[in-house]
Amino acid sequence: MSLFKPLPIFSGAMVQSFMASFKSKSDKRYGHSVAGKWRSVKTKDGTTLLAKIHDVVNPKGLVVLVHGWEGSIHSSYIIRTAKYFLQKGFSVYRLNLRDHGDTHHLNEGIFNGSLLPETYEAVRELVKSSDSKGPVYLAGFSLGGNFVLRMAGRHSLSKAADQIPRLKHCFAFSPALDPKRATIKMDEHPFLRKYFLNSWKSSLVKKANLFPHLYSFHDLDDYQSVMDLTEKMVKEFSHFSSVDEYFDSYTLNELFFKSVRIPTTILTSMDDPVIPWKEFAEIPPSSYLEVVIESKGGHCGFIEDWNRSSYYWKLMEKKMG
């Protein structure tokens, strides 16, 4: 029985996906006006990641948000979720992944999906530095959802000193479980292929302009699919021996899910234009995992009304009450 009931005019998969990411004037205004502080986090290996932190007085808890690939802390779904939970009395921290949100200058190395250690460490340090002593919640979207799931796994397997303090629940919305399949599906969709390919190329050009002694991407126009460009980047700028080895480094399989020992909620939709939904039906049952598969919702959408209220806020609040 589906609990997500969008208005009929919003029920299409691409409409849902577009409305999740569309940055309205009110999103931009709120993003610029909401009180917060910038905080950079330096990890043990020298990586620097940038976050925007929003502390409230006597918070009910702390929500850490992780955006999707080629998104940022300024993405609409991040801004709207931050606004909602700040109004509900939670502190909210928004973390930029490497090379996202105009942070290309902070690190010489290029972002890729395998970079869990720096992301986990940055989240842990942000939480440790917080004045909030209440429960901590992680929420990630798309590739950010994949990162949050892997953080749940790493937290579960870590000794107490290396865990994320006070972590109570993890949420992953439209997460990529099998990134190779997701990339293939993305390339099959003309609009999504063009959007993500152009965004990625722009990001790489920024990186090359900042580090011309390390990178030259003069041949980017030769690559007409996300998979083709992935193969180039893996071959020329990673330690992986093949594109399959790279994708395997952040593919979430049955063995992985059996390792998760922290309450985790996963939400996806059958009409997601990027993520194949049947992978979620194959996640092995666990008392720690709640897998919600809705018939509609698009990719990171789940928009209910004209105000772009998101169904996943209700899912989060149920676990945060």
Reply yes or no on whether 132 is catalytic.
no
The dihedrals phi and psi of 30, each to the nearest 5 degrees, come to: -65, -40
Mention every residue, 6+ apart, whose C-beta is less than 8 A from residue 277. 268, 269, 270, 293
The catalytically annotated residue of 91, 142, 174, 269 is 142
Candidate list 72, 91, 299, 310, residue with the active-site label: 299
Query: CA 314 to CA 21: how far, in whole Å?
Result: 19
Please count the other Cβ atoms lying within 10 Å of the Cβ belonging to residue 3: 9
* Residue among 169, 171, 167 nearest 144 (CA): 171
Q: Which of 21, 67, 272, 310 is catalytic?
A: 272
Q: In the annotation, is 305 catalytic?
A: no
Measured CA to CA, the distance from residue 259 to residue 134 in angstroms comes to 25
Distance CA 97, CA 203 (A): 13
User: Known catalytic residue: 272?
Assistant: yes
Q: Which of 277, 298, 269 is nearest to 18 (CA)?
A: 298
Q: Which residues contact 220 (CB under 8 A, 6 or more apart)?
A: 201, 204, 205, 229
Annotated active-site positions, please? Answer: 142, 272, 299
